[in-house]
Amino acid sequence: MALKTSSLITFLMIVFAISVQAQTKIFPKLKANFENEKVFVADFEHVYYDSYTKESLTSEGKIWVSSDKYRLDSENQLLIVDGETSRVYDEVRNRVIVSDYSEEDDDFAPSRMLNGVDSTYTITEEKMDNGRTKIIMKTDDDFALYLTVEIIVNSEAIPISITAYDFSENEIVTTFKNGSFLLKNEELFVLRYPQDAEIVDTRY
Pick the more confident residue, 160 or 141: 160
Domains of the chain: 2-201 (2.50.20.10)
108 or 38, greater pLDDT? 38
Pairwise pLDDT comparison (177 vs 27), residue with the higher score: 177
Residue 117 pLDDT greater than 60, yes or no: no
Among 10-19, 47-56, 108-117, which stretch is predicted with the lowest mean pLDDT? 108-117
In angstroms, how far is CA 12 from the centroid of its own chain?
A: 5
Task: Give CA 86 to chain center in angstroms.
Answer: 15
Give the closest residue to 83 by CA, choosing from 56, 97, 95, 65: 65
Edge-to-edge strands, sheet with 133-139: 121-127, 133-139, 148-153, 159-165, 171-183, 38-49, 56-65, 70-74, 77-81, 85-90, 95-100, 198-201
pTM here?
A: 0.77
Query: Is 43 strand, coil or helix?
Result: strand
pLDDT of residue 19: 47
**Euclidean distance between CA atoms 103 and 90, whole angstroms:** 23
130-157 tens-digit pLDDT: 899 998 888 888 877 788 888 898 988 8
Amino acid identity, position 44: F
Look at residue 9 and tell me whether its pLDDT is greater than 60: no
pLDDT at 8: 54
If residue 188 lies in a helix (H) or strand (E), which one and from where to where?
none
Q: What's the confidence (pLDDT) of residue 51? A: 92
Judged against a pLDDT cut of 60, whether residue 23 lies above it is answered with no
Q: What is the mean pLDDT of the chain?
A: 79
pLDDT, tens digit, 9 for 90 and up, residues 177-188: 999 999 989 899
Q: How far apart are CA 70 and CA 12, in angstroms?
A: 10
The 8-class DSSP code of residue 195 comes to T
Place 202 in a pLDDT band, splitting at 50, 70 and 90. very high
